[in-house]
Structure 1
């Protein structure tokens, strides 16, 4: 299990029971653009099946794949931090089924249930650290390979 799959696993059964009623099941067809870097971030997903590619725009025409995400992985953290804008883009690499959560509703629940809030924050921070490291590595590789980004 990777660091990115631990968000739900770090929650107690009781906390998961409080969080999961906020989820709705959604699906994305292969090649669907799920969100764009810089757009409003008001939700997040836990991937159930399929693969999603996180990417970062490096020029007007070039998008660099950063990290593949699969079942159990958290997709999206920007819903948790102002200004609530996506830091990366995301595209369905295959058909995807996921649990979708409304970011404002989860933030409210986390404020009402501080223990749950701390667990969610730690889980999201762990994912952020992994994703930022993956982005750094990919950007350095692209720079070494192409001499510029």
Structure 2
């Protein structure tokens, strides 16, 4: 069983409330693409209901699903780190209700309020570390030769 990524609830309440002040409610139909690899990352989402698949283009292999995100999980990490280009794709697996955030506005708040910024960077960094591990394991599951001795 995989360990869960830090959800928005892991942010200290004061910082979570400040972040949520930027939220707009949005809805995606099943099959809607939230973003594509190399697209400019100008927003991000926190899932309220439904499920979002993250995928990664693999040359000659399509775009396998790397992880499925659900309630309270962050969709989109690249908005916080230059050059602000998406490193994966994301698609609504089911109908999805989410909080949508303007990345430029949240980054500005992170820079103007160092305590808030530190909390957000730590939260997103923790999710990034988790996603790197999940991606590694998933790609090994899909593409490592069976019986190669490579262990996840």
Distance 1:16 1:141 in 2: 35
1:29 is aligned to: 29
- SS for the counterpart of 1:57 is coil
Q: Look up the match of 2:77.
A: 77
Q: Is 1:4 the counterpart of 2:2 in the alignment? A: no
Post-superposition shift, 1:118?
Answer: 0.7
Partner of 1:43: 43
Q: Does 1:124 align with 2:124?
A: yes
Distance 1:145 1:54 in 2: 23
Task: Kindly indicate which of the two structures has a greater share of residues assigned to helix.
Answer: 1
TM-score normalised by structure 2 residue count: 0.88
Q: State TM-score, norm by structure 1.
A: 0.90
Please list every run of 5 or more consecutive structure 2 residues that lacks an aligned counterpart in the other structure: 147-152
- Count, aligned residues: 144
Structure 1 residue 5: deviation in Å?
Answer: 3.8
Q: Which residue of 2 aligns with 1:58?
A: 58
Q: Shift of the alpha carbon at 1:141?
A: 1.6
Contact conserved, 2:56 with 2:66, CA < 8 A, in 1? Answer: yes
Q: Go from structure 1 to structure 2 and tell me whether the alpha carbon gap of 1:145 and 1:94 turns closer, same or farther (over 3 Å shift).
A: farther
**Gap regions ≥5 residues in structure 1:** none
